[in-house]
Amino acid sequence: MNGQTLMLPISVSQIAEPNIKINVPAVAGGTNEEAREKINATIVEETRALMKDQGYPSDDIQEMDGTFEIKNNQRGVLSLSLLNYAFTGGAHGNTLQKSLTFDAATGRSYSLDELFKPDSDYAERLDSIIRAQIKARDLPLLGEYPGITEDQDYYIADKALVIYFPLYAIVPYAWGFPYFPISVYEIEDIIDEEGPLGHMLY
């Protein structure tokens, strides 16, 4: 991964239709055109996928609001969360979240397993940390903790890897998204030093 100090300028465009307002982030410069196009295409694709998962297009949608949060934009790593809230009637709406982590120099996006050394048994390690946090925070689980999956949601926030689960997945709705921050130093021995988490170590 190159461009360790890379911090990318972010611009915002909007998808606006009746009852629908989606803010879409885009990289506006700071890296090569190919990387920029790759990152922006992935963001648009995931934004559209969230809209579709919320039932778009549909006359039932009374409100749809799309926002984003930049979690990390330093050391050549861009990590962000896309959030989509939709209300179609009933007691309350539903919010979906999808996070993306990119190498700013190449535009490559990383799944959770790609942050770790091959054969590092990262899932077992992360699960034991998360189980300990569940116990320490006394979270009211809806069932047994399911363990992380291959396409597990996560983002990077400075020197922490943050694992999270969808609404309703492991705790009641009122608890929102359950987030589990894990210090990079706690898992330093299994991190792929060439990947995004590796750049947070130093």
Predicted structure pTM score:
0.95
- Sorted by sequence, the CB contacts under 8 Å of residue 93 that are 6+ apart come out as 63, 85, 86, 87
pLDDT in single tens digits along all 202 residues of the chain:
444 566 899 999 999 999 999 999 999 999 999 999 999 999 999 999 999 999 999 999 999 999 999 999 999 999 999 999 999 998 889 999 999 999 999 999 999 999 999 999 999 999 999 999 999 999 999 999 999 998 999 999 999 999 999 999 999 999 999 999 999 999 999 999 999 999 999 8
Q: What is the CATH number of domain 1-109?
A: 3.30.565.40
The two tokens of residue 16 are 């606006």
Q: Give the separation between CA 25 and CA 10, rounded to whole angstroms.
A: 6
The per-residue pLDDT for 90 is 84
Identify the helix (H) or strand (E) that includes residue 33.
Answer: helix 33-53
The reported pLDDT for the residue numbered 5 is 60
Q: Say which CATH class 116-202 falls into.
A: alpha beta
What pLDDT is attached to residue 189? 97
Q: Is 35 exposed, middle or buried (0-12, 13-18, 19+ CB in 10 A)?
A: buried
Domain boundaries, the chain: 1-109, 116-202
pLDDT at 50: 98
Cis (ω within 30 of 0) for the bond into 118? no
Question: What's the pLDDT at 150?
Answer: 82
State residue 3's pLDDT score. Answer: 45
Which residues are paired to 27 by β-bridges?
10
Q: Which stretches within 54-121 are classed as H helix?
A: none
